[in-house]
Amino acid sequence: MSDFDDETRLLPIGEPSGGRQSFTGHVHPGWNIGANPNGGYLMALAVAGLRQAAPGHPDPLSVTVHYLRPGLAGQPCRVDVQVLRTGRALSTARATLSQEGGPRLEVLAALGVLSTESEPTLALPAPAMPPPEHCVPRSADEQGVALPILDRLDIRLHPDEARAGSTGMAQVTGWIRFHDGRAPDAVASVLFADAFPPAVFGLLGVVGWVPTVELTVHLRRKPAPGWMLGRFETHDLIDGRLVEDGTLWDADGHLVAQSRQLALLRQGARKS
């Protein structure tokens, strides 16, 4: 069992009824950014509940999360799933992850079956990138915030982009994999879509905190084993709110996922 599988395991509470099913789990501190659980990890916990409640449709195809309150590391959690529709090709469901009786995140998703073999009609090509051994590990202490999650995830940034404010562009590109050798899959892709430094760091340097309001990940294909490559860009920043687009490719260069998030730009010291 990998850390990720072990630490996203949910146990059902009672029997499903009327499309509703509830689960209990534990928010492990190993995925923290500072004192808070990483948002992609919490999203993966909610997706674990969605997958169990949608038999025959194991793969998230479109997952939207809204973050309501920070998660509590080292505490139990509850995931309440309601299946809204089950069709031949797709199931649609929502999930609420709660801790200490209050909702922490709300998820709305479509699930189905992803292929590994199909050739795309259209796909975004992977950017040129030095191999992982020529890239720079993401710093475990970034802008004064400790990143325990880097004991779980091996993240190597493009050498030209690894220093905040170094490029003048709101762009970050890097390799990512699990440290323990677990192969990537669709649920891991959801986590990987929220595991890189904010792209806006490349433009603005040290900026404080960039909390995500909403993140949508579209899963497009099951990844091949090995490293995945991610690129994240912001082209739209106004009134302290930014849109960040992400793309993930697998080790064979196939497009695996696209993501987009709305985040807040909090200038000044990060509260963590």
Binding residues (CB under 8 A) for a copy of itself: these are 61-62, 64, 66, 68-69, 84-85, 89-90, 92, 94, 103, 106, 108, 110, 114-115, 118-124, 170, 203, 213-214, 216, 218, 220-221, 234-239, 241-243, 255, 258, 260, 262, 264
CB of 106 to a copy of itself, least distance (A): 6
State the minimum distance, in angstroms, from the CB of residue 151 to a copy of itself.
31
> 101: phi > 0 → left, psi -120 to 50 → alpha, else beta; which?
left
Backbone dihedral region for residue 30 (phi beyond 0: left; psi -120 to 50: alpha; all else: beta): alpha
- Using the minimum distance from each CB to a copy of itself, give the nearer residue, 37 or 112: 112
- Provide long-range contacts, Cβ within 8 A and 24+ apart, for 12-20: 12/52, 13/78, 16/53, 19/53, 19/82, 19/83, 19/84, 20/80, 20/81, 20/82, 20/83
**Which of 54, 65, 159, 51 lies closest to 103 in space, CA to CA?**
65
Q: Are 219 and 189 contacting, i.e. CB atoms less than 8 angstroms apart? A: yes
First to last CA, the chain: 30
Nearer to a copy of itself, 75 or 115 (CB): 115
Least Å distance, CB 247 to a copy of itself, is: 9
Residue placing its CB nearer to a copy of itself in the complex, 86 or 166: 86
Structural tokens at position 167: 């490029």
- State in angstroms the smallest separation of the CB of 148 from a copy of itself: 27
Q: Name the minimum Å distance from CB 134 to a copy of itself.
A: 28
Q: Pick between residue 96 and residue 156 the one whose CB is nearest to a copy of itself.
A: 96
Name the residue nearer to a copy of itself (CB basis): 12 or 211: 211
